[in-house]
Amino acid sequence: MEVEQVQRWVASALVLTVCTLFATGMAILSGTVDRPGSGPGLMGVSCATGLMAMTGVRLINQKRLVTAWLLLGLLPAVVVGSYYRLTG
């Protein structure tokens, strides 16, 4: 196994973990915030952060950027948004 490949895996894991935690936090905050109108904005930030995380992973691994894998970046916002929509 090459050192460069391991470095790419580690960097990908770090980028994905940090950005996904931030995106999930923004999505949770969008459901609990009291200010009117700020929920959709925070959900948008969550979506953008997730998309940037997936784009970063694709860039680190030198893969094509525009693929269906980018949709996984929206997963934290979709899951948390669905939870808050279902629980009222």
pLDDT of residue 36: 86
Please report, for the chain, how many H helices and E strands are present, in that order. 3, 0
- Residue 1 is predicted with a pLDDT of 80
Q: Mean pLDDT in the chain?
A: 93
pLDDT at 29: 93
Whats the size of the chain, residue-wise?
Answer: 88
| pTM of the predicted model as reported, rounded to 2 decimal places | 0.87
Structure tokens at 77: 């916002």
pLDDT value, residue 70: 92
Q: Which residues of the chain have pLDDT under 70?
A: none
Q: Where are the beta strands (DSSP E) in the chain?
A: none
What was the pLDDT predicted at 51?
96
